Amino acid sequence: MALEHVSRLKRWFRIQEVPEESFLGIYPYTNPAVIIHPYFWCIRKDHERFVRLRPRYRSVIAVDVADSDRLSDMAVNMANLADAVVVPSTWARAAFIRSGVSPPVYVVPHGLHPEFYRPKRPSTNSVVVALREIKARYRVKYCLFFLWHSSRRKGADLVYKVMKRIQEERDDVVLVLKVARHYEPIVKYLARLRTLIVRGWMSISDLVDLYDTCDVYLLFSRGGGFELNGLEALARGLIVIAPEEGAWVDYLPKESLVKVAGYEPPLVGNPFHVGNGPVIDVEAAVDRLHEVLDDLDEWKARYAIYADEARRKFTWDRTAELLASVISRHC
């Protein structure tokens, strides 16, 4: 995200990029304005040194997220050292303000890579080609779920419960599970379902092909500052199913949202994000998924309109203009 911001902000500002690991080792002589992304993890490495250096900065803009509905006192104290805070969603903004952050908090959403604007195409990626062949041969429908890290926050256990029920009640649904190369314990349980696992890094072009291969995206997260996979899925016309509260409410249509069963910590033991997040109601999610799968063509036609709206609204250029406005106001 930071690289997307930097590449566009250079249109308006002279920017010196500094690696996160090096930032606190630099003693500034020019009284610069600094934009720190990610703010909390960078400053936490040597909070006391940052406090000593703070008078040397003309202004500080903190860029970060709220993965739950409340920040720790430590995070609030750190955020209050900034002149302004930038977060990617109204959910995150509310969490910062509710927790006691005093500088102004601005919402600057994420954007879509240019590849998400191209037409669908035949894929040259061997994994995607195989997925498409299996889908056509067995006439199944694909539910996509990204589990890159933080399985609890991403709601992997909820995906398991919903998909187990769905696959017990119908034989035309397969879970497509996109994972990293490192091992997440819950993967062994998800693999017991009718699941096709896609491992490792993909280029943006191949990633778009993967989205285009699938039908439904399961955004069952308990938390998160934005959840870009949900927007990317929507932008390619997938039907996204998500809890009716959370950061994704900023970009998802009402038809995507399912009632919440309760609230739980998305990140147990995290030093910054100590609150709760929404837990999707399993019964309601099962019912909505049946409804979608029973009339998939009609739902896809509706979501093609939502996809056009998302691609128009969530561009990195628009995001850069919003961020440039914040910088101009505080620097």
Per-residue pLDDT of the chain (331 residues; tens, 9 = 90+): 778 888 888 889 888 888 888 888 889 888 899 999 999 999 988 899 999 999 999 999 999 999 999 999 999 999 999 999 999 999 999 999 999 999 999 999 999 999 999 999 999 999 999 999 999 999 999 999 999 888 999 999 999 999 999 999 999 999 999 998 767 889 999 999 999 999 988 999 999 999 999 999 999 999 999 999 999 999 999 999 999 999 999 999 999 999 999 999 999 999 999 999 999 999 999 999 999 999 999 999 999 999 999 999 999 999 999 999 999 999 8
Q: What is the pLDDT of residue 19?
A: 86
* Domain housing 76: 2-111+316-330
Number of domains in the chain: 2
Are 93 and 166 found together in one domain?
no
For residues 74 and 170, membership in a common domain is answered with no
The SS3 assignment for 62 reads strand
Q: What is the CATH number of the domain that holds 169?
A: 3.40.50.2000
| Shared domain check, 275 and 236 | yes
Which pTM value belongs to this model? 0.95
What residue spans of the chain are helical by DSSP H? 2-9, 39-44, 47-53, 73-79, 90-99, 126-138, 151-154, 156-169, 187-190, 204-213, 228-235, 282-294, 296-313, 316-330
